[in-house]
Amino acid sequence: MKADIAMADPGPTGRFGEYGGRYVPESLVPACAEVEAAFRGAWSDPAFRARLDSLLADYAGRPTPVTRAERLSNELGVDVLLKREDLTHTGSHKINNVLGQGLLTLAMGKSRMVAETGAGQHGVATATAAALFGLECVVYMGEVDTQRQALNVFRMKLLGAEVVPVTSGSRTLKDAVNEAMRDWVATVADTHYCLGSVMGPHPYPWMVREFQSVVGNEAREQCRAILGGADPDVVVACVGGGSNAAGTFAGFVGTDARLVGVEAAGGSAIGRGIPGVLHGMRSYLLQDEWGQILEAESISAGLDYPGIGPEHSWLADNGRAQYRSASDDEVLDALQLLARTEGIIPALEPAHALAWLVRAAKSGEVAAGSTVMMTLSGRGDKDAETVMGLLS
């Protein structure tokens, strides 16, 4: 694999090709620089890494297994392996990142974390880490999402977090990010912004990918153990901002595996967007002809974002990863298929990855007999009420 395609340190500019960067108000430049310096120091500190590894093992439940989905494989005609992030504490991959950023908050001597959330899984994970470390926690969540993810709102409050409904704009994830960044500007002296995906200003896209790379690194070794030393033919994960996909791809970018990210059809930044600047980064964004950001639409609150992480934009441009999309109807069908064949109810987010795989296997885009590793980034408890309503 070419060295220039490896997912590496983007350097002080935070650039992945023409994407990334640090497009923030002057008042936040020192804060971003502080986070970068703290992360660089922590990531090279064996004591920090050892403490994080211990928490991931003894608190979050890592390593998560790779499960061979035999009945699903028989139905699709491809060998499907599932990386089970749904089995972590809090029920998704988000815990990997927030434990790292929680330790970083303590290292910087700060007492408060703010976060944004769409599906609520990052909010729940942040509230969990805040409770564990004794930190104050405020989570911003679009009003639309507080209604369709009421269970996660309750979980965050039970964990001691303040949940602030955002009533501006589309009242979804984009607007929650806006409000969290406004809070950070005003309280930066004692607050760390625990951003939940590989988006935003440098160092967040890189830092979050590194915290999530445990997913791909584990999965690569687990797949090789299952496949007799071979790598999967295809590695697939859903993409909103793209943290579970970035963490997964980081483990396989140096192999010959085909990397596929699957966006929501109504929020397909790679498929329908053009480069622009939002939330401190340059990346592919859904925009109109005047450069105004368009609303994303998705059955899944976690993929309801009008952009994509800058490293994904770069991977798309250089061809190392491919990006596809799935419709709401396909996602509902895929969710039911996995439940029926494997006894696993996925979150709506990873059901997008499965929806593409079902279509690709049937159409021949993924050849019969291929081995496919899919990251199951979260469990479906949070979506049960939404799915029940849609199916009835």
Residues 51, 99: Cα–Cα separation, whole Å: 10
How far does CA 331 lie from the centroid of its chain? 18
The yes-or-no answer on residue 116 being catalytic is yes
Residues 120, 163: Cα–Cα separation, whole Å: 10
Q: Collapsing DSSP states into helix, strand and coil, what is residue 21? A: coil
**4 in a structural domain:** no
Beta strands in 194-272 (DSSP E): 234-238, 258-264
Within the chain, what is the greatest distance between any pair of CA atoms?
Answer: 56
* Co-location of 231 and 293 in the same domain: yes
Beta strands in the chain (DSSP E): 15-16, 19-20, 66-68, 79-84, 112-117, 136-142, 162-166, 191-193, 234-238, 258-264, 274-278, 281-285, 321-326, 371-376
Instruction: Give 80: exposed, middle or buried? Use CB within 10 Å, 0-12, 13-18, 19+.
Output: buried
Domain count, the chain: 2
The yes-or-no answer on residue 263 being catalytic is no
Choosing from 174, 311, 377, 382, the catalytic residue is 377
Choosing from 94, 110, 174, 382, the catalytic residue is 94
**142 in a structural domain:** yes
Residue 68: its pLDDT value, please?
98
- What is the layout of strands, in order, in the sheet containing 66-68? 66-68, 79-84, 371-376, 234-238, 258-264, 321-326
* Co-location of 244 and 278 in the same domain: yes
* Co-location of 108 and 248 in the same domain: no
Residue 19: its pLDDT value, please?
98
- Sign of the Cα torsion 305, 114, 93, 207 reads positive
- Sign of the Cα torsion 198, 299, 72, 339 reads positive
Identify the CATH number of the domain in which residue 184 sits.
3.40.50.1100
Residue 302: its pLDDT value, please?
84
* Co-location of 237 and 358 in the same domain: yes
The residue ranges of the chain whose pLDDT is under 50 are: 1-3
Residue 4: its pLDDT value, please?
55
Last residue of a domain, one of 157, 172, 204: 204
How far does CA 286 lie from the centroid of its chain? 19
Q: Minimal CA–CA distance to 10: which of 2, 25, 1, 22?
A: 22
**10 in a structural domain:** no
The yes-or-no answer on residue 377 being catalytic is yes
How many CB atoms are closer than 10 A to CB 320? 18
* Co-location of 186 and 230 in the same domain: no
Residues 68, 233: Cα–Cα separation, whole Å: 15
Q: Express each pLDDT in 233-253 by its tens digit.
A: 999 999 999 999 999 999 999
* Co-location of 309 and 161 in the same domain: no
Domain containing residue 327: 63-92+213-391
Last residue of a domain, one of 204, 223, 246: 204
Residue 96: its pLDDT value, please?
98
**6 in a structural domain:** no
* Co-location of 169 and 40 in the same domain: yes
Choosing from 36, 85, 92, 116, the catalytic residue is 116
**310 in a structural domain:** yes
200 vs 109, 178, 253, 307, CA distance in Å?
A: 22, 11, 22, 10
Residue 171: its pLDDT value, please?
87
* Co-location of 146 and 255 in the same domain: no
Matching residue, tokens 């994904």: 312
Side chain identity, residue 132: L
Last residue of a domain, one of 185, 204, 223: 204
* Co-location of 225 and 269 in the same domain: yes
Contact 334, 355 (CB under 8 A): yes
* Co-location of 150 and 253 in the same domain: no
* Co-location of 75 and 103 in the same domain: no
**265 in a structural domain:** yes
Q: Is the pTM of this model over 0.75?
A: yes
* Co-location of 175 and 247 in the same domain: no
Q: How many CA atoms lie within 13 A of 135 on its CB side?
A: 32
Matching residue, tokens 């972590």: 88
